[in-house]
Amino acid sequence: MAGIRQANSSAQYRVGKPQTSKHIPKGVVSLEKIDDDVQRINILKAEIKGKVAVDKSWQDNSNTQILKGVDEKSYRQYELACDRVKDFYREQHEKQTVAYNLQARINFKTKVRDKMTIWDALVKLNDLLDESDPDTELSQIDHAIQTAEAIRRDNKPRWFQLVGLIHDLGKLLYFFDSDGQWDVVGDTFPVGCKFSKKIIYQGSFKNNPDATNPLYNTKFGIYSFHCGLDNVMLSWGHDEYMYHVAKKSSSLPPEALAMIRYHSFYPWHQENAYRYLMNEHDEQMLKSVQAFNPYDLYSKTEQKYDLDELKPYYLELIDEFFPTKIIEF
């Protein structure tokens, strides 16, 4: 998910020596601000609907520490975000077409953008900066560690901890061949069938050419009843990109891959949309994604961990599930 931070706090991301605005890639600050604003609204929606109870021991959030002591009021300062979020989704909903998504997947399969370790990729992600907040100096690695440590503290499986570490790593896409912000962050949704009314700002799909294409604007579109989400194209962004990287290069279990792929698929895991496309496998994956969601939303705090102390643990964890070490991004 997204690299969220609390509504009353946005972070300045640094790697190595403090960086100034001249080092910030064009558009990066606004990318992070949009991502934060999107997550504020998702937090509000999650609180309105309540926490989801699930039934497996590792999926059970009833006794987790992550939701204890959360000041939910601090996540409700979202009003100023709305115009920015509406403008973002207007562009995303217009441009996320079947044609674009097919080309994005062709691009993914036919070229290598970079080769590096997962840890080096986390360091590279620190080039995403937000200099708008003087009160915190938390880096992307800090946020990744916070999420992973919250999961680790609740004694979840090691692969679950690794998901916490890498779930936002797909935002590297911004440095490679993204066309802006709209194909990196934001809630995701299927393309190739009718856009659900449960998608945030659903009315802004009116300018998407697929909305009037008879091949794509019916309930099932190019899909079939209970075809399974593995056979559905989700809008291209950081989670879909990282899902394909992890699927290709890791030994992570299906539950982990689902958490990575679907953590921004809020119309599905929070609004109960698109059930007619699900199969039995998706029913189990939904529980996994819902178990991960609170960590995605609520792990961002001002606490900083000693990265030098924790790095050996997470390097070992990465090597366990990414055995080739050097990953093609």
User: Coil, helix or strand for 106?
Assistant: helix
Report the largest interatomic distance among the alpha carbons of the chain, rounded to a whole angstrom.
57
Find out whether 187 is annotated in a ligand binding site: yes
Q: Is 130 annotated as contributing to ligand binding?
A: yes
- The answer to whether 23 is a known ligand-binding residue is no
For residues 191 and 216, the answer to whether their CB atoms sit within 8 Å is yes
Amino acid symbol at 230 = D
238 a known binding residue?
Answer: yes
Apex CA 233: angle with CA 278 and CA 274, to 5°? 30
143 annotated as belonging to a binding site for a ligand? yes
168 is known to lie in a ligand binding site: yes
Alpha carbon distance 118, 124 (integer Å): 10
The annotation status of 264 as a binding-site residue, yes or no, is yes
CA torsion, ordered 153, 157, 161, 162, to nearest 10 deg:
160
User: Is 167 flagged in the annotation as binding?
Assistant: yes
Residue 57 known to bind ligand = no
State how far the Cα of 117 lies from the Cα of 290, in Å rounded to an integer: 29
* Number of neighbours of residue 44 by Cβ within 10 angstroms: 16
Rounded to an integer, what is the distance from CA 263 to the centroid of its chain? 5
142 assigned to a ligand binding site: no
Q: How far apart are CA 240 and CA 1, in angstroms?
A: 11
263 is in an annotated binding site: yes
Dihedrals phi, psi of 198, to nearest 5 degrees: -80, -5
Q: Which residues pair with 234 in a beta bridge?
A: 190
* 76 annotated among ligand-binding-site residues: yes
Annotated binding site for substrate: 76, 130-132, 171, 186-187, 263-264
Annotated binding site for Fe cation: 143, 167-168, 238, 263, 296
Annotated binding site: 76, 130-132, 143, 167-168, 171, 186-187, 238, 263-264, 296
